[in-house]
Each structure stands twice: as C-alpha cells, then as structure tokens.
C-alpha cells in the first residue's frame, strides 16, 4: 500500500469510509480484529483509508486477525501487501510493517513443548502408563498446552493418565530435536514428581493400563534399553535417588523482556530465596 | 467434503481430473504442495477427485501447503472443509482430517525460544553488549532460529554482538512466560560460555558498544538490581564461580518420539558418558 494510494483515498473516498476496528498494541502498532462480515471491495477501501490514518499517526506494525469466517478477506489483504504471521485452527494472523526502518515484528513460535513425568514413591517405584496396544510400559508424556506452565502440564498428564495427584519437584533434563513437524522443533522436559495420592485409576482412553513399577524392573524393559533418552532418564533417576543429581526447581519471577510473571527453573533455589524477593 | 461429493466426481469428472501433486507423510497422511498456479474451479475439482482417491487408500490427514502466490486457493480450501494449521511469512499450511476417529494432527508450535549468554573469562569478567540508545549494559540475547540448537544460538549471538568466539558450557537456568505475543509463550535459556577469543569487535547494528565488565560491576547496574531475572542470573553466576552450582550440559542423543537426533541437556554428563554410547 503506497502513500499515493492513501492520498487518493483520502481525497476521494474519505466520506464513505470508516477506519477498520482496531486496538493499539504495546509496541506502537495496531491490531485489527474483524468481527462482522465484510465484502472484499468495502474491506479494501476501508483498509486503504485506515492505512492513511495510521501512517499519519506514525503507527508501525499492523496486525490483521482474520477468523475462519472472514476467509474471503485473505486474498485481498495479501494483495494489499500483508504477509502471513501465524495461524491457529480458527484464525489467520497477517502483518504489515509500515516504517522504512527494519521490521521489529516478532518471529513466529518455533517450538512445540512436551513433558515426560517420572513419579517416584517412597518404595522407589516409578509410575508408568502404557501405550494402548503396544504392550510397552512408558512414563506419562504429553504436549504442553498453549499458555500452560511446564510443571503444571506434568501434573496434569499424570492425573489424566493414572488418576494420581502429584507435586512437582524438578526438571531433571530436557531434549531439543528439530523438524518434529515440518520446520518446527520440539523441546521435551523430563519432570520429577512426588505422589500425594497412591491409588491408580486409569483414566485416559489412550492408555491400556497403569501401574506402579519397581524402579529396577523399569530398567529392564526393551524400550529403556533401546532408546538413548529412556536410558538417560533411568540413569538420571538412579543418581537422583542416590542424591547425586540436581535438577531445576521453580521460582515465581518477573521476566525482563516484557515484565510478565513467569517461572524460573534453576537449581539451588534455597540460596535464591534468600536473595530474590 | 462428503463421500457423496467424492463419488459424484468419481463418476462424472474423473477423466478430466488429476490428483493434486502430493507426497506421503510418515503418519499415513499426504502433503499437497501447490507449485504451479491454478484457478479456483480447477482446484476444487482436482481436490474432490484427489479426496476420492485418498479415502479409498485409507489416508488420514491431508496437509495443504499454499505459498503466498496461491492465496486465491485459501478461500476454496476452507470452503471444502480445510482448517488453518500454521503459517509462516511465505506460506499457509491447512489441514483436513479424513477418518471418523479422533484427529491425531500435531498441535501447532506454542513457544518462541530465546537465549541469553553469559561469557566469563579467566579474570571473572562478564562480557556485555549494550542496547542501542538505552545506556544499559546487558548480556547478549536473541531469538533461537527455526531449526537451531539452543547452545548454537548462544554462540552465534555472542559472535554477532561482540565478535568473540566462544565454547558452550552449560544452561544455567531457564524462564517460561506466557502471552509473549498473542497466545504464544516464551522460553528464555540462560547459557554459560567460555571465550576462545578475547578482542571485542562490536558487530551488530543494534549494539552501541560492547565491553568486558568486571563481574562485581555488572551487579551494581540498575537493570540487575531492578529485574528479578537479572538478579537471579547474577546470583547463579556467583555460585557457579564458587563451584556451588550445576547447570545442564549437552549430549548428542536420539529422541524416542521420532528417532530424530537431538541434544539432551542434563547435569552429570561424565556419568552419562560411561553408560550411554
């Protein structure tokens, strides 16, 4: 969308146009959220008129959130210079950078995050779920939901797969792999949990059975022998039980990037608590 | 797209239609990649014909990769029942789940990953870059590129901001925050590096200056005092220098999810190396 387009619209169509519905973002840009249906021609006219205003106001990034119901506006938006940013099942987010200066539009999300949960009870038994139909006993695993804390996802997965309530202790390790789906990467966090209830009630449909398993027996499973990662998890748990291993526990903290509250995962939390309020 | 549609097309238009260009994925589905331009009508006909074949073949997920140049096909695809999965600046990925059974389409990426790099030299000085114009000395930070290892991103950011070559030692801690942009979350990994070259050459345009800073001086900066996360990083580095802290170092490993090679980050690597080939 050039300045010329904008002034043409300014001169000729200003009276019949309204600025598209938008809110300011925190970085000098605007977010357009289309809520009522609109035909392509009115949309393009309103878009050109809105850009004229936003340029005058020195706006930077223009985000355009198009719900699935507004799919007709995707093509005209791209033809006006918008580019895709990210998409979820129900909407597509496009973006347009107005200034001459280099874009500071944030990069898209690049990683999916998964958790695996090791639950150790006082008898040094691990809790295992089993994959339906495979006959392999494995620790509960699952994908961290959007907006969910890693430790909370581990607690949730254990509850869903076995009915056991747990308390999060530590991240023991994590693994990063690439091209997990298309160009996206995967982060898998191994979590150690302590049970606060003990009666297993298989809950998840994907799970065939759930049981407490002796730590030594879990080591003998072919899956533990075959896979580097399971072998490593088992070894780390051995060291942990002998108190020779320190994972990362949580602390509520404010991020310096955007002052958002989050969790810091680190070891030596007892020292940290004395220094950070 | 119903079975009825498919059989109609099967009977009446089969001769003039070809199956859309596709490759099989590893999970019983197909990936359609549109490379030559196509008008909407031919696309819908070819899509219906293709679905008839894929149903017969028992295919599950159908991925449709539409480059920006094929934006005209987004609306017809959605009208045929496709939903958005993810998008990058140059393409939109849509997906359609054929079976009656619950979809096993992987969730979209939910996290952006960032690194912060602490470089400690023999004199117990940290290396700092500074944000252009702010007058604040800070450690080099940056976003992990798609497909990039966390430790490699830390090495790259230090090189880009200061010209220093480094070797990765450990992840000291990490921080998870939410709604970093829209509904997406953020993982920030604090990396400890050892310099292998020492002459600072400021390289990045975003950086005003770069210098080695005495560890004690870096603690006195208002940014370290003000922000929980910087305070925590400083404290962790103090403990590390006194050999009272154990972060996570790397080991090449195969993930059990998809047999992809990746890196495991854990402590006690010396023990692991004796057990895992």
Q: What is the CATH number of the domain that holds A219?
A: 3.90.79.10
Same domain? A234 vs A148: yes
For A234, the domain range is: 111-244
Residue A188: pLDDT band with limits 50, 70, 90: very high
Residue A220, domain member (yes or no): yes
Same domain? B20 vs B76: yes
Residue B105, domain member (yes or no): no
User: Residue A83 maps to which CATH number?
Assistant: 3.40.630.30
Same domain? B115 vs B168: yes
Same domain? A216 vs A251: no
The mean predicted confidence, pLDDT, of chain A is 85
Same domain? B171 vs B260: no
- Which pLDDT tens digit goes with each residue over B221-269? 776 667 788 888 888 988 888 888 999 999 998 876 667 889 999 987 6
Q: Is residue A87's pLDDT more than 70? A: yes
Chain A hits for B265, Cβ within 8 Å? 173-176
User: Residue A126 contacts by C-beta under 8 Å, 6 or more apart in sequence?
Assistant: A118, A119, A120, A139, A212, A213, A215, A218, A237
Q: Do A71 and B91 touch (CB under 8 A)?
A: no
For A188-216, what is the mean pLDDT?
79
Q: Do B110 and A145 touch (CB under 8 A)?
A: yes
Nearest 5°: the CA angle A24, A28, A34 is 35
Total number of domains in chain A: 3
Residue B202, domain member (yes or no): yes
| Confidence (pLDDT) at A140 | 86
Interface confidence, given as ipTM, is: 0.86
Same domain? B139 vs B45: no
- Which pLDDT tens digit goes with each residue over B128-184? 665 555 566 678 889 998 899 999 999 999 998 888 899 999 999 999 999 888 889
Residue A103, domain member (yes or no): no
Q: Do A246 and B246 touch (CB under 8 A)?
A: yes
Distance between CA atoms of residues B38 and B18, nearest Å: 13
Residue A259: pLDDT band with limits 50, 70, 90: confident
Residue A156, domain member (yes or no): yes
Same domain? B36 vs B162: no
Write the DSSP string, chain B: --HHHHHHHHHHTGGG--PPPEEE-TTS-EEEE--S---HHHHHHHHHHHHHHHHHTT--EEEEEEEGGGGGGHHHHHHTT-EEEEEETTEEEEEEE-SSSPP-PPPPP-EEEEEEEEEB-TTSEEEEEEETTT--EE--EEEPPTT--HHHHHHHHHHHHH---EEEEEEEEEEEEEEEETTEEEEEEEEEEEES--------TTEEEEEEEEHHHHHHSHHHHH-HHHHHHHHHHHHHHTT----BEEEEEE-TTT--EEEEEES-HHHHHHH--
Chain B hits for A219, Cβ within 8 Å? none
Same domain? B14 vs B84: yes
Q: Do B254 and A227 touch (CB under 8 A)?
A: yes
Same domain? B52 vs B92: yes
Residue A269, domain member (yes or no): yes
- Which pLDDT tens digit goes with each residue over B62-81? 999 999 999 999 999 999 99
Q: Is residue B109's pLDDT more than 80? A: yes
Same domain? A136 vs A238: yes
Residue A127: pLDDT band with limits 50, 70, 90: low
Chain B hits for A116, Cβ within 8 Å? none
Distance between CA atoms of residues A130 and A211, nearest Å: 9
| Confidence (pLDDT) at A62 | 97
Closest CB from A88, A173, A176 relative to B84? A88
The domain boundary, picked from B31, B63, B97, lies at B97
Same domain? A125 vs A193: yes
- Which pLDDT tens digit goes with each residue over A6-19? 444 444 444 567 89
Q: Is residue A43's pLDDT more than 60? A: yes
Chain A hits for B235, Cβ within 8 Å? 271-272, 275-276
């Amino acid at each position: 969308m050039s300045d010329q387009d904008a002034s043409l619209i300014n001169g000729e169509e200003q009276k019949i146009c309204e600025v598209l519905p938008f809110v300011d973002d925190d970085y000098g840009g605007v977010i357009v959220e289309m809520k009522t249906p609109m035909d392509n021609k009115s949309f393009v006219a309103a878009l050109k008129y809105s850009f004229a205003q936003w340029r005058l106001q020195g706006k930077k990034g223009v985000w355009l959130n198009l719900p699935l119901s507004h799919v007709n506006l995707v093509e005209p938006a791209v033809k006006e210079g918008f580019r895709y940013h990210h998409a979820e099942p129900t909407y597509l987010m496009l973006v347009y950078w107005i200034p001459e200066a280099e874009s500071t539009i944030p990069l898209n999300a690049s990683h999916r995050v998964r958790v695996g949960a090791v639950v150790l009870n006082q008898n040094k038994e691990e809790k295992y779920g089993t994959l339906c139909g495979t006959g392999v006993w494995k620790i509960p695993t699952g994908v961290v939901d959007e907006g969910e804390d890693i430790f909370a996802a581990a607690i949730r997965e254990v509850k869903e797969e076995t009915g056991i309530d747990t308390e999060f202790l530590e991240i023991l390790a994590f693994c990063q792999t690439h091209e997990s789906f298309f160009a996206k990467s995967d982060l898998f966090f191994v979590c150690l949990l302590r049970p606060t209830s003990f009666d297993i009630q298989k809950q998840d449909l994907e799970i065939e059975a759930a049981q407490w398993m002796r730590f030594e027996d879990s080591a003998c499973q072919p899956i533990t022998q075959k896979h580097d990662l399971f072998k490593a998890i088992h070894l780390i748990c051995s060291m942990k039980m002998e108190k020779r291993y320190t994972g990362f526990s949580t602390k509520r903290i404010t991020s310096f990037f955007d002052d958002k509250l989050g969790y810091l995962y680190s070891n030596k939390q007892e020292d940290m608590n004395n220094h950070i309020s």
